[in-house]
Amino acid sequence: SRVAAVLAINRLCAPGSELAIEERWYPSTALDDLLEIEEGKINDTRLYRCLDRILPHKTKLEQQLKQRYGELFGAEFDVLLYDLTSTYVEGAAENNPMMARGYSRDHRPDCEQMVIALIVNSEGFPFSYETFNGNRADVSTMETILRMVERKYGKARRIWVLDRGIVSEENLAAIRKRGGQYLVGTPRSQMKQFEEELLKDDWTRVQPEVEVKKVVIPQGEETYILCRTAGRKEKERAIRHRFSAHMEDALQRLGKTIATGRLKDRNKMERRLGRIQATHSQVNDLYEVALHDTPNGIRLHWSIKPERRDWRDLREGAYMLRTNLQTHTVEELWSEYMQLTEAEAAFRTLKSELHIRPLFHQLESRVKAHVLVAFLGYALWVTLKHLLKRQASVVSKPSARGVYNAQPLSAMKALTLLSTLQSADIVLPT
């Protein structure tokens, strides 16, 4: 267990390989005194042996963390935030059947990867995680996760908060079947049925730039929450205008090329037009485009579809939530869904501060053990974050005017400050 502690602490403080721990990191720490493991006894062979033995203890470690978070911080796990990410491997990974090419959130489609599903509570405390093959679809993981949670912690009326990429009718039915409740994002394609509600003015402002509205379905067990954000609307509209300007410019140039007789082959015209439409797929549905035969030859005609443009204007900046929770207010529902950012923050911590990627281990068992060590490192990270929050720790930070302002002390800043402490053995003559 002490060697496992070395791996987890390294993942928190200075993530590196097992060889780097042995040669550079461990000798520079005071862990030989704190953990009572002599410097010479920490080597890469012993660290690898620990990786090979730690995985069977995953469930007990998760349960112990859940218990300790309850004791230390009063953490509750009745609301669970669930999200997925991926991490890629360097090398062929021929001995790891989990590694496969799939949707890469790391923008590395050239590398094989694995998918990691993480469950945290509304404060970011880790509850559990699971690993899947790299080509596993997000939506297909939910049933496995539900069974895993029931097996470890029994049945309970939990509230699941999910991103829309994980949502399917089958997954929601599986949650309801287990007596659970959910608050989920919904694809924009389903927003069209609430067009009249979007046009009405009976919105509730929950933040200066955020408005929400509850839509109850008659004789239904579910409620929909329409949300719109001014900043998001402005951003999406700017993106649309940019793509529209590019597409219209391309259409005008193609039309001029055809009209001047420089392009006469209809098949080539259609191919050029198809490329323009494919390149501007974000706005292609807003345009009516066709090649027409005229007395002067073939001509390109295009126009904006007013009804499509008006609908895009209306839906920009808007998104929709779906829930079977009946007693929550619309403000509470929106606030709970926004807590999904805690899961996203956990992934950012795993990938940036804790350096879970890329994977260099080639064996499946070692890769899974590496993920478990990163999970423990994140557990230490979130513990430190909440301890600092509890103590209202602050650090002085210079402003542009040279005035020092008190700023909350982050976990990263605390680790940086702690790394400056020195440990020494002082021998006094007798």
Q: What is the pLDDT of residues 37-59, one digit of tens each?
A: 988 889 999 999 999 999 999 99
- According to DSSP, the residues that pair with 89 across neighbouring strands are 359
pLDDT of res. 147: 93
Average of per-residue pLDDT across 109-125: 91
pLDDT for residue 162 is more than 70: yes
Average of per-residue pLDDT across 403-407: 57
pLDDT of res. 394: 57
pLDDT of res. 323: 95
Question: What does the alpha-carbon distance between residue 335 and residue 337 come to, in Å, rounded to a whole number?
Answer: 5
pLDDT for residue 404 is more than 60: no
Choose the weakest-confidence range: 99-108, 308-317, 327-336, 381-390.
Answer: 99-108
Average of per-residue pLDDT across 268-279: 96
Structure tokens at 270: 């259609």
Task: Supply the mean pLDDT for the chain.
Answer: 90
pLDDT of res. 405: 56
Choose the weakest-confidence range: 93-97, 195-199, 420-424.
Answer: 93-97
Share of the chain above pLDDT 90, in %: 63
Q: At residue 78, what is the residue type?
A: D
What's the distance, Cα to Cα, between the start and end of the chain in Å?
38
pLDDT for residue 76 is more than 90: yes
pLDDT for residue 150 is more than 80: yes
pLDDT for residue 169 is more than 80: yes
Note whether 198 and 205 are within 8 A (CB): no
Q: Which residues contact 338 (CB under 8 A, 6 or more apart)?
A: none
pTM of the predicted model as reported, rounded to 2 decimal places: 0.82
Between the alpha carbon of residue 12 and those of residues 51, 99, 349, 377, the distances in Å are: 17, 25, 10, 5
- Which sequence spans correspond to the domains of the chain? 2-55, 59-230+320-383, 232-313
* CATH architecture group of domain 59-230+320-383: Alpha-Beta Complex (3.90)
CA dihedral sign, ordered 66, 69, 74, 80: negative
Nearest to 157, CA basis, from 326, 315, 313:
326
pLDDT for residue 270 is more than 90: yes
CA dihedral sign, ordered 284, 285, 287, 290: positive
The total of other beta-carbon atoms located within 10 Å of residue 244's CB is 18
Give the relative orientation of helices 364-391 and 44-54 as an angle to the nearest 10 degrees. 90
Structure tokens at 420: 């400056």
Give residue-wise pLDDT tens across range 198-241.
Answer: 988 899 999 999 999 999 887 778 999 999 999 999 999 999 99
Question: What does the alpha-carbon distance between residue 255 and residue 390 come to, in Å, rounded to a whole number?
Answer: 66
Choose the weakest-confidence range: 28-32, 71-75, 348-352.
Answer: 348-352
- The enclosing H or E element of 64 equals helix 58-73
Give residue-wise pLDDT tens across range 307-325.
Answer: 999 999 999 999 999 999 9
Give residue-wise pLDDT tens across range 170-190.
Answer: 999 999 999 999 999 998 888
Q: Could you give phi then psi for residue 386, rounded to 5 degrees?
A: -75, -30
